[in-house]
Amino acid sequence: MNARAPTAALNPQTLLQSVTQAWDSDIVQQLSDYIAVPAKSPAFDADWAAHGHIDRVVQSAADWVLAQKVPGLRLEIIRLPQRTPVIFFEVDATRDNAASSQTVLMYGHLDKQPEFNGWRSDLGPWTPKFEDGKLYGRGGADDGYAIYASIAAIQGLKAQGVKHPRIVGLIETCEESGSYDLLPYVDALRSRLGDVGLVMCLDSGAGNYEQLWLTTSLRGMASGVLKVEVLSEGIHSGDASGVVPSSFRIMRQVLDRLEDSATGRLLPASFHVEVPADRLQQARATAALLGDELFKRFPWAHHDCAGASLSTLPMTDDPLQALLQRTWAPTLSVTGADGLPALKDAGNVLRPYTAFKLSLRLPPLLNAAQAVQTLKTLLEDNAPYQAHVTFHPEGAANGWNAPTSAPWFEQALNEASLAHFGAPCATIGQGGTIPLMNLLSQGFPKAQMMVCGVLGPKSNAHGPNEFLHVPYAKRLTAAVGHVMAAMP
């Protein structure tokens, strides 16, 4: 795939005007309606089928796509038994005797993370609000916008009569639960996906809102519940403490096997990998470009009134080291707890057990299934005081390292970024996980991977005050169409 398809017929300004009109006239409202539906992923809503929220957003998105009357587009909502639904659409190629019969695959998801707390008093997860170019609410940026942006990009090309390759779209509803429902759909649709030469995944992030960002790596993930049981029931702490060990103290000891609490570094050498030379070079360039913006993007609890200096310090003040720790280092987060009463209900009781939900981010090249087994053995063996310590895995997903960019793809990315942002395309690794990417890289090893997204500074996916940066989304939509048209 070396021959470059001509893009002379594409007028970037007209393309941006077309997608901007689509966003202003329709997409922002569609996403506002989407945000209002609590379509939580199955991991956070066991009764998702009965509640109907996922089906509702899927049907709404499908109806909107069909209403656009895109020439050559066909769409299906596919439901395999006992699995969350997917939207599959395909658009015929418009190139005559194209040099390549390869397909563009566009990916997104419509399921959401749960509410979380800490939202601004005038905001909420299911109450959309458009303010200063930002659309607030759960799921708009992660990743409800993807199907709407994909169709707007295609329409923008068709409005100019720009020739394009065959395009298929796969929009799932299980991504936030680890995409465990997706593989059966990929297997069922494999013959219809075709020979995928370009994957466009709109579920990633951006280092800033000033240029196009290509994601070059994603971390893997392992999660589960670690539980320490000491007693069969709670006991007066004055009576038992000093004789009965605290389940929380044992929990601390067990986690100390995994993590150096002073530095946050994971101790087992098997959880670490060597950063490839090309990714290290890219990280140096990105660290130099972003500098302390790598730190300012987070909502630190303590800062001065201007937000200029932090009294709470990051784990490192070196931008390069911070970038590598965020994208290539394994890290542990405790994302939930059980066995701990609310503060208002906490009496003088030695609790019978403590349970933590663990989320372990893994380097892109590490085998997640092996990491889970290592983790289980490490945490469970030889428990202090012979306490009953169990680790129940809840999910594992491999990370992803992007293939080398083909010359046409690299050129197209830079052209698109310069045309629509006025700055060249930049690269960045992401600390999150998109399970589909590793699967697609294995299934289509020669495909180019345009992994990008709107999750820039302070957009706060999964947390409070999540927002979609609409001006950036418009330009990203145009850039997607630009690159699609450039595919040989």
Q: Where are the domains of the chain?
A: 12-218+399-486, 220-276+323-397
In what order do the strands lie in the sheet containing 129-131?
A: 129-131, 134-136, 467-469
Query: What are the DSSP calls for 99-134, one per residue?
Result: S---EEEEEEE--B----S---TT-BTTB-EEETTE
Question: What span, in angstroms and rounded, lies between the C-alpha atoms of 36 and 25?
Answer: 19
Check pLDDT > 90 for residue 3.
no
| Confidence (pTM) | 0.91
Which parts of 209-341 are beta strand (E)?
213-218, 220-229, 235-236, 331-338
Question: What span, in angstroms and rounded, lies between the C-alpha atoms of 407 and 405?
Answer: 6
Question: What span, in angstroms and rounded, lies between the C-alpha atoms of 142 and 440?
Answer: 20
What is the predicted pLDDT for the residue at 380?
Answer: 98
Residue type, 225: V
Check pLDDT > 60 for residue 1.
no
N-to-C CA span, the chain: 7
Tokens 């169990």 label which residue? 390
Q: Are 175 and 453 in contact (CB under 8 A)?
A: no
**Strand partners of residue 336:** 357
Check pLDDT > 70 for residue 308.
no
**Strand partners of residue 224:** 358, 393
Question: What span, in angstroms and rounded, lies between the C-alpha atoms of 194 and 189?
Answer: 9
**Strand partners of residue 426:** 213
| CA geometry: angle 476, 479, 485, nearest 5 deg | 145
Q: Are 169 and 202 in contact (CB under 8 A)?
A: no
Helix (H, G, I), strand (E, B) or coil at 421: helix
Cα 123 to chain center, whole Å?
Answer: 22
Q: Hey, what are 419's tokens? A: 């045309």
What is the predicted pLDDT for the residue at 311?
Answer: 62
Share of the chain above pLDDT 70, in %: 96
Of 422, 479, 400, 457, nearest in space to 150 by CA: 479
What is the predicted pLDDT for the residue at 312?
Answer: 76
Residue 289: Cβ within 10 Å count: 18
Residue 34: Cβ within 10 Å count: 25
* Residue-wise pLDDT tens digits, 337-366: 999 999 999 999 999 999 999 999 999 999
What is the Rg, in whole angstroms, of the alpha carbon atoms belonging to the chain? 24
The fold adopted by the segment(s) 220-276+323-397 is Alpha-Beta Plaits (3.30.70)
**Strand partners of residue 400:** 218
Of 370, 468, 20, 397, nearest in space to 220 by CA: 397
The fold adopted by the segment(s) 12-218+399-486 is Aminopeptidase (3.40.630)
Sign of dihedral through CA atoms 459, 464, 470, 476?
positive
Fold agreement (12-218+399-486, 220-276+323-397): no
* Residue-wise pLDDT tens digits, 115-160: 999 999 999 999 999 999 999 999 999 999 999 999 999 999 999 9
Residue 184: Cβ within 10 Å count: 14
Q: Are 340 and 354 in contact (CB under 8 A)?
A: yes
Phi, psi of 277 (to 5 degrees): -60, -40
Q: Which helix (H) or strand (E) holds 198?
A: strand 196-201
Q: Which helix (H) or strand (E) holds 356?
A: strand 353-362
* Residue-wise pLDDT tens digits, 185-220: 999 999 999 999 999 999 999 999 999 999 999 999
What is the predicted pLDDT for the residue at 97?
Answer: 54
* Residue-wise pLDDT tens digits, 25-55: 999 999 999 999 999 999 999 999 999 999 9
Question: What span, in angstroms and rounded, lies between the C-alpha atoms of 212 and 18?
Answer: 19
Strands 86-91 and 73-78 turn out to be: antiparallel
Strands 388-397 and 220-229 turn out to be: antiparallel
| CA geometry: angle 133, 203, 41, nearest 5 deg | 100
Residue 145: Cβ within 10 Å count: 29
Share of the chain above pLDDT 90, in %: 89
Check pLDDT > 60 for residue 6.
no
Residue type, 62: A
